Amino acid sequence: MNLSDLSFLARFARTPDGQALLRILEARLASVNETLLGTDGNDVYRFQGRAKQLLELCKDITEAEQRLARAAPAAPRHR
């Protein structure tokens, strides 16, 4: 993700809409994980992929501010 994307996600995460989307994604992740527990065979891989994708989206939203802070150059210190 570039700085523009991180900046957008950091701002979005602080909004009520951002928090609502995060709750929706987390609920879907919980549902997929529950389904995964009762799944076998090749479906396991499919549901693992879904869970991983949802988890990555949640982390993108929740960690954007920290990632943005790490990516931004440090401000020079005055002596």
Mean pLDDT computed over 2-28: 96
Structural domains counted in the chain: 1
Give domain status of residue 47, yes or no.
yes
Give domain status of residue 18, yes or no.
yes
The DSSP-derived string for the chain is --HHHHHHHHHHHTSHHHHHHHHHHHHHHHHHHHHHHT--THHHHHHHHHHHHHHHHHHHHHTHHHHHHHHSPPPPPP-
Give domain status of residue 72, yes or no.
no
pLDDT at residue 74, as a whole number = 56
Give domain status of residue 77, yes or no.
no
- pLDDT tens string 18-71: 999 999 999 999 999 999 999 999 999 999 999 999 999 999 999 999 999 998
pLDDT at residue 1, as a whole number = 86
pLDDT at residue 75, as a whole number = 46
Which domain range does residue 41 map to? 3-66
Give domain status of residue 74, yes or no.
no
Give domain status of residue 73, yes or no.
no
